[in-house]
Chain A
């Protein structure tokens, strides 16, 4: 109705609107492009526009509902399972917006568009004018109607989660990691639900999937495929209930279970709703744009009957179709950019034939088109091998493929996708579609792919794009991936990308050398780099760049790693250059999220005194320290110190640094030990203090946290430390290495059992030195120890099988002898402005009140 009434107004309004543009129209005047939505579609559309010279034509403003830059939503399942950290999935850093002169309003929601005056109104009270508008609001989780989903206050019940945004994912991880949360029910057995189930299972909690359809992934495959998938999923330990509708979430103030229709209730403390997505069309509906299932657009991605408003992505309905995958989005962004910039006004989007190719819960799944025969004349070719989790089904109509489902074996996916996309006639021998029987092998499979066959669905990279990069001289797989972004989405196509690059390079593909570099800017692995530094007598980071970097180019990302390496190798011979350091190392304090620093004085082995406590209290009072916190490493943390106050705080404390900030030896946690504890068998406190005194401030490739426990009760948590020592009966000490209890959990491996504390100190130092010399930059011991192997470490460090012990001990002793407390430089700053605030120093005069 609104469309009918308002449409006649739109036309006369549209013409005068064009006027101001042409009036301001000098060559310098740029039109205003506003993008609502900073997700994968919005940012991709802007990237495509910029690639077509959009920066000269437009001043660009973007609104994002989420308070972040732009990230890869596909990877959220990897974040959930802990395979990636959430920092790794950002596609465009905030610097990208700056570099391209894009104004980004992150965390600002657009409420309404006035399409007649051409303004966008947002919830921060801003009215932003536009000449061209792009709506890319995407979609949100669909919460199907059920009882008890909301609290009486109207918010979602604690313990119930959608799975759509980075915040959803973070909250789920947080909730799942709480000890008393043991069981989760995932509602929805589609792609997203299975990903959520798999990800949550990796946090060690029991997972059950409730799916209302008759079989898993019922939108993508038929019942037979679903049954095979169910077997594979259940083999992972995930319980599956199909044909079960969830009718209510139980529990008053938090989740205690779900109840199902016709089936017994399931008890749980967490519910994840992954029952599909719905387009976000509120803004469009409120603003009177044509919305059916989603915003209706034409083949140019222009909103129906609107001159200057475009829409792209999952919030779009094109020719009756709404897509919930990324591949159509990339195609749409290209067409939209062509029209918006005028680069190719004949370009048209004609819809996408979607094929899903994914690894769902560790099972390879590919699905396209129909999942079963529909007409009597349809041929249906099925191969099923449930014990191996393999299922293949192809639907053929008029000698053309109209659908396929592949589970557990996706080697023929590339060929089948192509056959489906182009409607190629199929070979008479249908079995060749599924297996490589007498048909060309995999390599030829790549050769027979069409140039524009899509290799990477996430980033819309065609075979031709990859081949072109190789022809332009890039002959490493990693290089081709960097250049095209292929394989940088969900990663399921990496094998195919590799095959294509290898095929295109015709055997000339090179091992990706950068993978083994110690730091990215210098093309040498760690042993070669150390050998070159020794041979050429290099003593500072800038000397290393001059001598070893290609074109002597300095690389900011490499500086910190090199500084640490040189300090370790050269001890007092090292020429310290401040610009080579990370901010923490420049000011010897730990930068916090608000730009202030935390100061942690040394407190060896966690033992303190009345004088020390009193002085810390005095300093905290004098400097108005906002927070005083006991750390996990048994020290006192003074948080919220401004940078310029650091020297004064250190001077007032007059204590050495506790090294809470560097890639270095940090602390030794101890238990009470022999003197006071009724169980202690060894003097853990004394040994801990001795170790901390000896190795204070030692640089290493990553931080080192140690502990000494006085008995096997392990009050100091020695088994999960980089080096952990445990006193056992008979005056002996066990030394564990490679433990972790942070982002990763790992029990350390037993390196040796020794008779006296001196031997503990010796082997600890020798292990640390070996790790310092052999580990990759930022490689924690929990990765280093399994990589090298505990047997090898025992042989080298305890039994001295490679005759290295003497040199390791000597190198460590040199580093120990070279110790200087960095806080002592407070009176004598090494660089001008070292402790100057990075914020403007002068307070601007207040505007007088009239």
Chain B
């Protein structure tokens, strides 16, 4: 089995549109799984510079797959103990939900493998 490691990562400024309204963080945080390949997400790490709770949402084909809440001026590391297969042709994307009008920076690092 030959596998490849992939990451969606970086530090991005954000502007909140409401805690119940996830919006894309940045166009770089999008991954298209090629046909004939199986993708698995292994962990998420995140940091939040603002003074409010924010939530990073892992989306598969536009549907939320996991939620990662990050506290005010805090960080999380979530090893995804239950790993699912994401089939070729799917789109994986990170969204962010934050209180309306809230500004700050978010640090994201999503680790995946493909084989």
Contact = CB atoms under 8 A, between A and B. Distances in A.
A binds B: yes
A219 B1 contact: yes
Interface in B1-51: 1-3, 5, 35-38, 40, 42-43
A339 B100 CA distance: 57
B40 A293 contact: yes
Interface stretch (A60-68, A315-323, A645-653, A695-703): A315-323
A144 interface: yes
Interface stretch (A206-214, A392-400, A549-557, A745-753): A206-214
Interface in A546-573: none
B97 to A, nearest CB: 22
A145 B87 contact: yes
Nearest to B87: A144
Given A1-B81, A293-B42, A214 B87 contact: no
B35 A214 contact: yes
Contact of B35 (A3, A144, A213): A213
Interface in A273-311: 276, 278, 285, 290-293
A220 interface: yes
Contacts of B38: 276
Interface residues of B, number: 22
A278 B83 CA distance: 11
Contacts of A371: 2
B115 interface: yes
A142 B86 CA distance: 13
Nearest to B115: A219
B83 A293 contact: yes
B35 A320 contact: no
Contacts of B87: 144-145, 245
A48 to B, nearest CB: 23
Interface in A212-235: 212-214, 218-220
A325 interface: yes
B80 A292 contact: yes
B79 interface: yes
A59 interface: no
Given A145-B87, A212-B35, A290 B81 contact: yes
B21 to A, nearest CB: 27
A219 B2 contact: yes
Nearest to B37: A213
B2 A220 contact: yes
B36 A292 contact: no
Contacts of A290: 81
Given A1-B81, A212-B88, A324-B1, A243 B35 contact: yes
A292 B79 contact: yes
B3 A213 contact: no
A620 to B, nearest CB: 57
A354 interface: yes
Contact of A245 (B35, B80, B115): B35
Contact of B81 (A213, A245, A292): A292
A220 B113 CA distance: 16
Nearest to B88: A212
Interface string B73-102: 000000111110101110000000000000
A194 B33 CA distance: 24
B40 A291 contact: no
Contacts of A214: 35-36
B81 A321 contact: no
Contacts of B1: 219, 276, 322-325, 354
A738 B9 CA distance: 70
A237 to B, nearest CB: 24
A175 B3 CA distance: 34
Nearest to A403: B2
A292 B112 CA distance: 11
A211 B35 CA distance: 10
Contacts of B80: 292
A220 B4 CA distance: 12
Query: Which residue of A3, A211, A245, A290 has the most chain B CB atoms within 10 A of its CB atom?
Result: A245
A214 B35 CA distance: 7
Contacts of A243: 35-36
Contacts of A324: 1
Nearest to B42: A292
Nearest to A145: B87
A142 B35 CA distance: 17
A218 B36 contact: yes
B6 to A, nearest CB: 12
Contact of B83 (A211, A292, A323, A325): A292
Nearest to A325: B1
Contacts of B42: 292-293, 320
Contact of A291 (B35, B81, B115): B81
Given A144-B87, A292-B42, A293-B42, A322 B36 contact: no
Contacts of B3: 321-322
A580 B7 CA distance: 69
Nearest to B1: A324
Query: Which residue of A145, A219, A243, A371 has the most chain B CB atoms within 10 A of its CB atom?
Result: A219
Nearest to B81: A291
B36 to A, nearest CB: 2
Contacts of B35: 212-214, 243, 245
Nearest to A219: B2
26 contacts: A1-B81, A2-B81, A144-B85, A212-B35, A212-B88, A213-B35, A213-B37, A218-B37, A219-B2, A245-B35, A245-B87, A245-B88, A276-B115, A278-B85, A285-B82, A290-B81, A292-B43, A292-B81, A293-B40, A293-B113, A322-B1, A322-B3, A323-B1, A324-B1, A325-B1, A354-B2
Given A212-B35, A245-B88, 10 more contacts: A211-B36, A212-B36, A214-B35, A245-B35, A276-B115, A293-B83, A320-B113, A321-B3, A354-B1, A354-B2
6 smallest beta-carbon distances between A and B, as pairs: A213-B36, A324-B1, A212-B36, A218-B36, A219-B2, A293-B83
